Chain A
Amino acid sequence: MIDLKSTFIGIQTPNPFWLASAPPTDKAYNVNRAFEAGWGGVMWKTLGEAGPAIVNVSGPRYGAWHGKDRSLMGLNNIELITDRDLEINLTEIIQVKKDWPDRGVVVSLMVPCEEQAWKDILMRVEDTGADGIELNFGCPHGMSERGMGAAVGQVPEYVEMVTSWCKQHSDLATIVKLTPNITDVRNSARAAVRGGADAVSLINTINSIMGVDLDQMKMSPSVGAQGAHGGYCGPAVKPIALHMLSEIARDAQCKGIPISGIGGVTDWHDAAEFMALGATNVQVCTAVMTYGFRIVDDMIDGLSRYLADQGMSSVDQLIGAAVPSVTDWNQLDLNYVVKAQIDQNSCIKCGRCHIVCEDTSHQAISTEINGERGFEVKDEECVGCNLCVNVCPVENCITLRELHDEVDPRTGEMVSAEYRNWTQHPNNSMA
């Protein structure tokens, strides 16, 4: 078993599994339970400025997208930042950090976009002994209407300005949490880098409406007569998070800034994928809100075994390992040719590959083999698109075979071993 100890911007934790700033980290009771379960660190639920408490709705705060067996694929929420008194939160943070010196405690913050407001809250957090702060520039609902959260994160100039205030007025390690509700996440990340951020974390939740109750003819969930958009998270957002994460990881202007990965991390596979694409650690929320804190058990065991299987001695060797595999479309090798092939021994003859190829793609799968019902790829039509592989219910039944030193029956041309991308392609008038 490989030790999973993790160092993130100087914060040492027994593993790279953190809880994201969210309902599970709103108070000492939950955080203590999380640490007892084995979580490496927590991002304490976002604190606001001193004064009248935040008011949450007393109606539904969460909505879900379910699979047929009620498996939770996505969750959205309209909960605001902590609605508990600032003093209570600070007192609890002090105690928790004392009780759990080997775990990470970072405090998420969101106050109005005024320098004094940030100065005030930073002083208070510094006194708690917390390991750092995470600037909540991502919350897309409620607080953003008040000029905070995503409203800041969507304007790179604001991101840079507030980040620099924090670095100027405190010594706390500063993580900037980014919103995905933008056109290009690199602009926000670069602004954080310019502002002096120690790290970025992403993604925060995505603007969303979960659905419509067709009987009552109103959006769902709704608070009485109406609802409002919420932040979407959970397994469904993972691909979006991985993309944004890798964009920052491979961006020269982001200068290798450490990244905390967030967005649908549910198990150790997800965590390993986030880390492979550049995350130093991961933050989890929906998964614990679905199953409880105990899932960290499997995550620790699974990741440790995986590292051992890969011959890796620490989580650090995983970080960014797959980043070089991500590139722009125009760098893809257009001479690379594959053909789908169906393993007749494992084929169960459901015909799904045929019907999707026939109706929606390249008419490259036939329905008979030697006069019997069966499915076979027509190499002369197959473009290797992978759709059949994706719809096949049997794992590894359809695979893609690489063509080398042979004629592609579709084009009638010899497959070239030479790398040639679009920028080098004769059909590209810009080349």
Chain B
Amino acid sequence: MTESTMHRSDQSAYAEHLLNEAEYQQNFSDIHTPFSAHSAVVEADRCYYCFDAPCQKICPTGIDVPGFIRMISQNNDIGAAGKILSENIMGGTCARACPVETLCELECVRNTQDDSPIQIGLLQRFATDQASASGAEFFTREAASGHRVAIIGAGPAGLSCAHRLATLGHEVVIYESQEKAGGLNEYGLAAYKMAGGYAQQEVAAILSIGGISIKHGMKVGENISFAELQTNYDAVFMGVGLGASKALQLEGEQASGVMNAVDYIHRLRQIEDLGQLPVGQNVVVIGGGMTAIDIAIQIKRLGAANVTMAYRRSQQDMNASMEEQEFALSEGVRIVHWAQPVGLRIEQQMITGVEFSNGQGPDTDTYTLPADMLFKAIGQSLASIESGTIEFAKANGRIDVDAQRRTSQPGIWAGGDCVAGGDDLAVSAVQDGKLAAISIHHTLIQNQA
């Protein structure tokens, strides 16, 4: 939580503990009911085990979806998990948080037949949950290579890269600014998608391979310089994510009650007592992506009376999937389209309303929505990385990488949300980390020869 956007004084303006303990428990528990062993087998049996399966082809990590589902149908849950994790070490998180309705489940051929895709996400979760409950281990390390690789950021990209490098026999040191590893899995995804401390459980499983150490509280450019990393390690991978929330560029944005959605979620994910979070009566969320949906639903579930998501363009233009939008609507969130914020109403340094124009819509009238809390969820941009000492080629404001996830700087690879061309999904970050690790490995081996 950045202090600039949330002062202690903000708290006093809002009621605390709007709900009782049982309600908080209910509202932030696991959003999905996991499969039982029987229902998993029955669902797996629905899978047609397609040849050249579209679900596998669309998965950014290329998981052999028909293959793992067939294993579940044969009661080989652990084998299924092995198949998943060999391509996607964060298969557990992706099973919970992937927008499957826009990826594998969208491509399922059963949509064409009966409008009812195989529930691939839940099956993947079943297999990975069974595997973690069993304590099964799938990976061993190759003989020590003698190479050391530095990774910046212990998020999905960094951890994926680290794990693959560790299996290939390299030593990995991860520099992480936060207290916990996991990146957005720990600090960014909606709480009800990652219930039960799953992010840390998965991090522990990944680290159990050995050969990976994490230095927390380390920010490159502050506690350690890029130059030091380049000197002390044989290769560097950057999985720094996006640091800076985009601003509305409106007057009064510093007022109390105006917050970045990601900062609030960050705090929500770490807080012991949800009742201590400030919750407004009339909450407006600006944005049309997953973060906007996530903050809107979570603030509603924290007890906000009225939550309105305001998006500047049409429904079709929203980045959030139709399923996510419908989920928000079913939670009582109101979604307004063609709503371009043009002004903030501030009284006594406190937000009281947001003025919108439907400038891109059919007419150009302006109107004001009352708001005692305003969330900005209009995207994030790359925070500067030790500016001045090292420059990376960029594309669309993010680091430009090639197919092997190499940056313009020799010896430095990058992946995850900080690189251009991605889709800001954990699953893509995992793939970036994996591809970078393979590239780093080949480079190190070649240099050796």
Contact = CB atoms under 8 A, between A and B. Distances in A.
A68 B110 CA distance: 18
Given A68-B41, A68-B42, A69-B42, A352 B112 contact: no
Given A348-B109, A348-B112, A68 B50 contact: no
A393 B42 contact: no
Contacts of A367: 51-52
Contact of B109 (A68, A69, A350, A355): A350
Contact of B44 (A67, A68, A352): A68
A123 B44 CA distance: 58
B107 to A, nearest CB: 10
Contacts of B48: 348, 350, 352, 393
Given A70-B38, A348-B110, 19 more contacts: A67-B45, A68-B41, A68-B44, A69-B41, A69-B42, A348-B48, A348-B112, A348-B113, A349-B54, A349-B109, A349-B112, A351-B52, A351-B53, A352-B48, A352-B49, A352-B50, A373-B52, A373-B54, A393-B48
B185 interface: no
Interface in A181-235: none
Interface of B: 38, 41-42, 44-45, 48-54, 73, 109-110, 112-113
A393 B113 contact: yes
Contacts of A348: 48, 109-110, 112-113
A67 B44 CA distance: 12
B298 to A, nearest CB: 37
A368 to B, nearest CB: 10
Contact of B45 (A69, A350, A351, A373): A69
Nearest to B111: A348
Contact of A354 (B42, B51, B54): B51
A394 B110 CA distance: 10
Interface residues on A, range: 10 to 19
Main DSSP-derived SS at the B contact region: helix
A351 B51 CA distance: 5
A40 B52 CA distance: 52
Contacts of B113: 348, 393-394
Nearest to B66: A350
A393 B46 CA distance: 10
Interface string A334-362: 00000000000000111110110000000
A70 B36 CA distance: 14
Contacts of A393: 48, 113
A68 B45 CA distance: 6
A394 B112 CA distance: 10
A355 B49 CA distance: 11
Contacts of A69: 41-42, 45
A359 to B, nearest CB: 9
A68 B47 CA distance: 12
A351 B52 CA distance: 7
Contacts of A351: 50-53
Contacts of A68: 41-42, 44-45, 73
Name the 10 nearest CB pairs between A and B, nearest first.
Answer: A351-B51, A68-B45, A355-B51, A348-B109, A348-B112, A350-B50, A350-B48, A69-B42, A348-B113, A350-B109
B41 to A, nearest CB: 5
A352 B51 contact: yes
19 contacts: A69-B41, A69-B42, A70-B38, A349-B109, A349-B112, A350-B48, A350-B50, A350-B51, A350-B109, A351-B51, A351-B52, A351-B53, A352-B48, A352-B50, A354-B51, A373-B52, A373-B54, A393-B48, A394-B113
A352 B73 CA distance: 18
A68 B113 CA distance: 21
A69 B37 CA distance: 11
A168 B42 CA distance: 56
Contacts of B73: 68
